[in-house]
């Protein structure tokens, strides 16, 4: 009898096979999930790639800062750049610190990011609480200070300072921070207006306004105070809180000052901000050219080419921000002012008398002087002096050479402030500033563009409505309408663009609003830039 042998797997063989499989699985799991496994290796590779990307971004910003400052960078600026990417540890030497990044929570040694040397930080005695001037994104800048010459006849400028000098600014002494940008054969002077809150004045005569400088993290004002809206997220069109703005020190001058009347329609003229030149006037296109010229300053060939800033035509509220600060203890009421004793009626901005040339940065012989003085039947031209003469600073917003000029007198400045339409809120913004055809950031609607760059006022029919001054908070219209015998008026369908600065002081309300045909030969504009 033949019995067939079974060829199945024995129990012992099965056990051995399972053991081998378990060993192989353990080895595989360890290769994938172990401390040096494939999973951790991949995870570490991603981490190293992320860290390398962050370091590269920081190093690019550091290099940009050095390129704009002849290879220099200060400890404060290096710290500021690093802290924009996360939190620094507290070691005394900045190169010994560790940066814990906001993105990814990575710990990176500062010495792995930057191995160079820094220059000393400037000595700043300002105790006003003013926010540090934001210069990081501005290309080809120098820091500007002045000294009175030995004869006491003129202020001499120290302009080729690529690193912030000692005692650069001191707002408690009316010494506002000044810089100069130079590029493509063009120049522009800028003054820093720090974020502040203030008490809205109720007097109809020039009075000192209470102002407190604040940090941009403070979004709720003290009791009785208002944070000036140009520094707020809402006033900035929803683009964030601001620590301050840079405003043009003088009225705008074209790249060809001799072509100041009616030039620029073809876009060939560029914006400059310089003293002792005819202001750029008579654009004759209802504001679109001026608006576009300011927005294009960062383009190729402009004075701000390469700067990561938002340049634009000054809004009415931005004018108001300068006017209000000028009337505080940090402006013409400061103790270092050249205008006289504290509280004296001399505390007002002196006039830049109107002239056939409308020269920027000039001052007359008295606080209220105009182009012509009547003497019987004859008229004499007022003798004027430049901004850096011994008498010149009286025409600035501080009574010192460090303030903003041409805000009293000069020529009428059109600002980006107009009416809403009767049926279309953007009717006058479209017709007066051509906003539908302006270059806009990607994805920005025409409505959002207008909200950011133009102050829109209630509609007024010239023939029907009475002026009741429905102002926008911070525009310094209503509260300053009778200061220093200034002109005052309001927008309407016949005159829908605000004009500021003609007559007494920076408080003028703008009765010389521009009509819906042209700026006219006497109209100019001013520019603002905001670091991004």
Where residue 389 falls among pLDDT bands split at 50, 70, 90?
very high
Residue 350: pLDDT over 60: yes
Same domain, 345 and 459: yes
Mark whether 169 and 242 lie in a shared domain.
yes
Q: What is the pLDDT of residue 121?
A: 87
Of 83, 113, 143, the residue at which a domain comes to its end is 113
What is the domain range of residue 78?
38-113
Let me know whether 220 and 75 are in one domain. Answer: no
pLDDT band at 33 (very low <50, low <70, confident <90, very high): low
DSSP 350-410: PPB---SS-BTTEE-SSTT--SEEEETTEEEEPP-EETTBSSGGGGSSSSSTTS--SSSBS
Q: Are residues 446 and 492 in the same domain?
A: yes
Q: Is residue 408 included in any domain, yes or no?
A: yes
Residue 269, pLDDT score: 87
Is residue 31 within 8 Å of 24, Cβ to Cβ? Answer: no
- Name the pLDDT band for 138 (thresholds 50, 70, 90): very high
pLDDT in tens, 452-468: 999 999 998 877 776 56
- E strand map for 477-520: 497-500
The verdict on 97 and 229 lying in the same domain is no
Q: Residue 18: is its pLDDT beyond 80? A: no
- Per-residue confidence (pLDDT) for residue 472, from 0 to 100: 87
Residue 4 within a domain: no
Ranges 46-50, 99-103, 271-275, 413-417, most confident: 271-275
Most confident of 27-36, 293-302, 477-486: 293-302
Percent of the chain with pLDDT over 90: 40
In terms of domains, do 42 and 127 share one? no
Q: What is the mean pLDDT of the chain?
A: 83
Same-domain check for residues 156 and 208: yes
In a domain, 16, yes or no: no
Domain count, the chain: 2
The answer to whether the beta carbons of residues 251 and 167 sit under 8 Å apart is no
pLDDT given for residue 257 in this prediction = 74
3-state SS assignment for residue 145: strand
Q: Give the pLDDT confidence of 480-501 residue by residue, as tens digits.
A: 666 655 666 778 888 888 888 7
Q: How far is CA 373 from the centre of its chain?
A: 38
| Predicted local confidence at residue 313, as pLDDT | 94
- 336: pLDDT confidence band, cut at 50, 70 and 90? low
Q: What pLDDT sits at residue 373?
A: 46
Q: Which of 33-37, 347-351, 512-516 has the lowest mean pLDDT?
A: 512-516
Q: What is the pLDDT of residue 340?
A: 45
pLDDT value of position 149? 93
Q: What is the pTM of this model?
A: 0.85
Residues 130 and 232 grouped into a single domain: yes
Does residue 393 carry a pLDDT above 80?
A: yes
CB within 8 A of 494, min separation 6: which ones?
462, 515, 516
Residue 478 has pLDDT above 90, yes or no: no
Query: Average pLDDT for residues 422-451, to the nearest whole number?
Result: 91
Q: Determine, yes or no, domain membership for 247.
A: yes
Position 26 pLDDT exceeds 70: no
Whole-number Cα distances in Å, 8 to 3, 5, 14, 27, 289: 15, 9, 10, 29, 94
Is 215 found in the same domain as 81?
no
Considering the domain architecture, whether residues 106 and 230 belong to the same structural domain is answered as no
* 28 located within any domain: no
CB 432 within 8 A of CB 526: no
| Strand pairing class (523-525; 226-227) | unpaired
Predicted pLDDT at 496: 85
Question: Which comes out higher in pLDDT, residue 400 or 268?
Answer: 400
Does residue 327 lie in a domain region? yes
Please identify, among 90, 113, 136, the residue that sits at the C-terminal boundary of a domain: 113
Looking at residue 426, its pLDDT comes to 96
Domain boundary among 67, 89, 113: 113
pLDDT attached to residue 9: 64
Tell me what the mean pLDDT of segment 276-293 comes to.
Answer: 82
11 in any annotated domain: no
Same domain, 154 and 43: no
Higher pLDDT, 152 or 470: 152
Q: Do residues 315 and 424 both lie within one domain?
A: yes
- Evaluate whether residue 9 is within a structural domain: no
Beta-carbon contacts of residue 9 (< 8 Å; ≥ 6 apart)? 17
Most confident among 13-27, 478-492, 498-512 (mean pLDDT): 13-27
């Amino acid at each position: 009898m033949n019995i067939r042998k079974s060829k199945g797997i024995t129990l012992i063989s099965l056990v051995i096979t399972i053991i081998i499989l378990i060993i192989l699985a353990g080895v595989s799991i360890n290769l994938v999930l172990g401390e040096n496994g494939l999973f951790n290796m991949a995870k570490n590779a991603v981490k190293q790639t992320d860290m390398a990307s962050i370091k590269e971004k920081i190093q690019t910003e550091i290099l940009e800062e050095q390129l704009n400052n002849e290879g220099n960078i200060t400890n404060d600026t290096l710290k500021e750049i690093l802290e924009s990417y996360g939190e620094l540890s507290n070691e005394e030497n900045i190169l010994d610190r560790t940066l814990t990044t906001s993105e990814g929570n990575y710990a990176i040694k500062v010495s792995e990011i930057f191995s160079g040397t820094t220059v000393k930080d400037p000595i700043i005695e300002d105790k006003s609480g003013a926010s540090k001037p934001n210069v990081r994104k501005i290309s080809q800048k120098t820091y500007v200070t002045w000294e009175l010459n030995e004869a006491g006849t003129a202020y001499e400028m120290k302009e080729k300072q690529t690193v912030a000098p000692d005692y650069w600014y001191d707002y408690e002494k009316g010494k506002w921070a000044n810089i100069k940008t130079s590029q493509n054969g063009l120049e522009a002077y800028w003054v820093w207006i720090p974020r502040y809150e203030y008490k809205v004045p109720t007097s109809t005569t020039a009075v000192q306004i209470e102002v407190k400088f604040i940090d941009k993290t403070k979004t709720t004002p003290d009791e009785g105070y208002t944070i000036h809206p140009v520094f707020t997220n809402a006033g900035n069109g929803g683009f964030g809180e601001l620590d301050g703005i840079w405003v043009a020190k003088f009225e705008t001058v074209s790249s060809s000052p001799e072509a100041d009347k009616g030039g620029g329609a073809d876009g060939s003229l560029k914006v400059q901000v310089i003293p002792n030149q005819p202001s750029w006037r008579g654009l004759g296109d209802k504001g679109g050219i001026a608006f576009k010229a300011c927005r294009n300053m960062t383009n190729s060939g402009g004075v701000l080419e390469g700067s990561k800033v938002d340049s634009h035509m000054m809004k009415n509220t931005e004018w108001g921000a300068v006017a209000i600060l000028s009337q505080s203890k940090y402006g013409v009421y400061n103790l270092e002012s050249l205008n006289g004793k504290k509280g004296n009626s001399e505390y007002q901005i002196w006039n830049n008398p109107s002239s056939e040339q409308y020269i920027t940065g000039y001052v007359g012989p008295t606080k209220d002087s105009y182009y012509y003085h009547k003497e019987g039947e004859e008229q004499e031209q007022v003798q004027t002096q430049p901004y850096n003469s011994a008498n010149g600073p009286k025409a600035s917003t501080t009574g010192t050479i460090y303030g903003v000029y041409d805000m009293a007198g000069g020529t009428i400045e059109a600002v980006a402030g107009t009416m809403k339409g009767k049926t279309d809120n953007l009717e006058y913004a479209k017709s007066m500033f051509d906003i539908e055809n302006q270059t806009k950031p990607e994805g920005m609607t025409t409505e959002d563009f207008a909200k950011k760059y133009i102050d829109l006022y209630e509609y007024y029919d010239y023939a029907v409505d009475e002026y009741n001054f429905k102002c926008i908070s911070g525009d310094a219209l209503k509260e300053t309408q009778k200061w220093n015998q200034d002109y005052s008026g309001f927008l309407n369908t016949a005159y829908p663009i605000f004009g500021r600065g003609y007559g007494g002081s920076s408080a003028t309300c703008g009765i010389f609003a521009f009509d819906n045909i042209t700026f006219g030969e006497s109209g100019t504009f001013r520019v603002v830039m905001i670091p991004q």
